[in-house]
A and B are shown apart, each in its own frame.
Chain A
Amino acid sequence: MVSLEQLKEHQTVRTEPVPESQALVDVRHLNLWYGPKQALYGISVRFPKNQVTAIIGPSGCGKSTLLRSLNRMNDLVPGVRVEGEVLYEGVNIYDPRVDPVAVRRHIGMVFQKPNPFPKTIFENVAFGLRLMGVKGSELEDRVVEALKRAALWEEVKDRFKKESGLRLSGGQQQRLCIARAIAVEPPLLLMDEPTSALDPIATQAIEDLILELKKRYTVVIVTHNMQQAARVSDRTLFMHLGVLVEEGPTEVLFTKPKHPYTEAYITGRFG
C-alpha cells in the first residue's frame, strides 16, 4: 500500500486533460488544512462546462473536502486554512475581495442526507430566490419551474403550498433539495453523495435527473458508488489520502486505469 510521503510527491495522472477554454472551474495547487491536519495536497484539476464530473475514492480521501472548497463551505469549519486558487469563470473565489456568501449564491449544493427545511415545499424552493429578492408571481413561476426540472412537480403539484417538505419520502425530499438548489439557476451544482441515503428506485430517479440536469448545469458529484460514477459521469477523479491520483474520461478511468492504485480501487482491492 502507498504511503502518504510517496503520494505527496505524486503527479496526477491525466488522460485527455480538459482544455482551459472548456473549464467552468479551474482548481490550481489547492492545499487545505483542518487545524494542524492537512486534508488536500496540491490538487490541480479542471471541471468542464455542462458535463458531469464524479469524484471517487475511499472514505476520508478528501473528496467531500474538495467538493466543499468549490463553494467555500469549508469556511464554516473552525480552523480551516486554504492555499492555492479555485478559479470560477476565471475569478479566484479565494481572493480576499470575494465574499463567500456571494460565491454560494452562484453555486448550488445538494447534501448526502436530504435536508429540507421544516417549511412548506413551496417555501423550501423559494428560500434561495427570496434571498435574491425575487417576489410575487415571478417567485411562484420560478418555484414551479424548479420543481418541474427536479422531476417533482407531478407528484406534489396539488399540495406543494400546504405540505411540509418533511412529509415527503426520502427520494422526494432529495429531489426537493435539488429543486431548492437549482431554483436560483446556479451554473454549477455540487452533489455530495446525493443518493447514499436512498433506496435503489429513488437512486435511479436521481441519476436520471442528473443526466437531465447536465444539459443546463455543470455537475460535480461525490460518490461512494463506483457503478453510479460510471453511469452518470463524463469524467472521473480518483482521490486517495488527500491526493488526486488520477483523472480522465470515465470510460478510460474505469476500463484502462493508468495508476496501480486506481486499478486496485476500482477492482475492489482496497477502499
Chain B
Amino acid sequence: MNRTLTPSPESFAQDPWKARIDRVFARALVLPLLLALGLLALLLGDTLYRSVSVQVVRADMGPGHTYPFGLSAEAILRQELLAQGYTEEEADFMLQDPKERSALFLQNRVELMWNTHEGPFRYVVTNVYDKRVADFSLAEGLRRWNELKANLQEGERLVLNPWLDQTFLTRPPSRSPLTAGIGVAVWGTVWVLSLALLLAIPVGVGTAILLEEYLREGRLSRLLEVNLRNLAGVPSIVYGLLGLALFVRGMGLGPSVLAAALTLGLLGIPVIVVTAREALRAVPESMRLAAFALGATRRQVVFRVVVPAALPGMVTGVILSAARLIGEAAPLLLVGAAAYVPFAPTGPLSQYTVIPVQIYLWISQNQPEFARVAAAGILVMLLLLSVLYLLALYLRNRFRREW
C-alpha cells in the first residue's frame, strides 16, 4: 500500500462532483414542494377570479303571466312557480314553509288588474327579480367597462358582482343563479358534522385508548390494527353504500341528517383512531411508570396522566378528520343529500344538503352563471377548511411539549 502518512490540504479537498450532485439533489427536492404550492395558488386564484363577474342587470318589473279571476292567491303562486320551471314537488315544498311563502309573495306580486286584454278582471303576477341581461368574466368586463356603460338601456345598470357576499352566506339555494345562496348547505354541514363527530370522537378515542393502553401487543390488537388500516383506505363512496343500505333503508332513517351523520361518523372513526393512537404513543412510557409507582390503577394512569398529556394531539387529529369530513360529497350523494332543500335542517330527521354536494349540484347545472355560484361556494368551503387547519396548527404549537 502506497499511502502518504502526512496529510496535505489536498487530502481534505472537496470533490467538486459530489458537491455538485448534492446541490442539484437538494434543489430537486424543493421542486415538488414548489409545484404543489404553485398548483394550490393557481387553484385559489382561479376560484377567486371566477367568483367575481361584471354584469348588466335590470330590475325587471315586466308583466308576468296572467291568471283568470276566481283562483286563490296560493294557486296563482303555485302556477307561477311551475311557469318559472320548478317541478310540482318543489313548488309544493316551497309553499309549505310560511317564511319562504311570504318571500315568494314579495318576489311575485299578485295584483288584481282591471280591463286587461284577456278580459275585465284578471290577476297579473309581477316578478321583481333582478334580471340578468348579460354576464361577463372579470377580464372581459373590466376591459369593456366603458363600452358596456355607454350602451346601457333604460333601467339597466352595470355592476361588479362578487358572488361571494354577505347574503350568499345566508340565502337558500334557488333556481336562479342570482339569488342562489349557500346558507342552507352551511347549516346542513354544521348539523351533519356535529352529529358525525358526536359519534366518531367517543368511538374513535375509546378504540385508541383500548388498543394503546389496554391491549398493547395482543393478538386482538394486531387484528384490529390491520382492519383499521384497511378501513382508513376504503373509498368513501363505499361508506356511502353502507350508509344507504344500513341507515337510510335498513334503519328507515331516509335521506335525513342523522343517516348522513352516521355515515360520515363511520368514515371519520379510522382517522381519529389512528391520530389518537399516535398521540397516546407519544406520551413517554416513563409517565405511565411514574403514575404506577405512585400507586395508581391502570384506569387512573390512563385517565389522569396519559389522556390529559395526549389531549392536544388528539384534538388536532379530530380537527383534521373533521376537515376531511367537511369536504366529503360522494357518500352523501348516495345517502340522499337532496338536490333542492330550501330550508336549514331543524332536527336530526330533517332533509339536508351540505356544502360540497351543493357545489357539485351547481357545477352540474347548465346555466353558465352557476359556475360562478359554485366558485363562491368553493371559496366558502376553503375558508372553512383554512379556519380548521389554522386551529389545528395553533393547538399543535400552543401545547407542544418537551418531554
Contact = CB atoms under 8 A, between A and B. Distances in A.
Interface stretch (A70-78, A154-162, A223-231, A234-242): A70-78
Given A117-B287, A118-B401, A184 B217 contact: no
A166 B401 CA distance: 8
A121 B290 CA distance: 15
A128 B292 contact: no
B294 A76 contact: no
Contact of B294 (A113, A119, A184): A184
A269 to B, nearest CB: 34
Contact of B297 (A73, A101, A103): A101
Interface residues of A, number: 28
Interface centre among B289, B294, B308 (most CB of A within 10 A): B294
Contacts of A180: 290, 294
Interface residues on B, range: 20 to 34
Contacts of B289: 73, 76, 111, 115
Interface centre among A109, A117, A118 (most CB of B within 10 A): A118
Contacts of B401: 118, 166
B293 A108 contact: yes
A184 B308 CA distance: 23
Given A118-B401, A166-B402, A102 B286 contact: no
A143 interface: no
Interface in A162-185: 166, 177, 180-181, 184
Contact of A111 (B286, B295, B300, B309): B286
A255 B284 CA distance: 41
Contact of B295 (A102, A113, A119, A177): A102
A104 interface: yes
Interface string B56-69: 00000000000000
A50 B114 CA distance: 112
A71 B308 CA distance: 26
Contact of A104 (B217, B295, B309, B402): B295
B291 interface: yes
A84 B287 CA distance: 30
B217 A78 contact: yes
A128 B305 contact: no
B249 interface: no
A1 interface: no
B292 A76 contact: yes
Contacts of A142: none
9 contacts: A73-B293, A76-B289, A76-B292, A101-B297, A111-B293, A117-B309, A127-B304, A131-B295, A184-B294
Given A103-B295, A104-B295, 18 more contacts: A71-B293, A73-B293, A76-B289, A78-B216, A104-B292, A115-B286, A115-B290, A117-B291, A118-B308, A127-B291, A127-B304, A127-B305, A128-B295, A131-B294, A131-B296, A131-B300, A132-B295, A177-B290
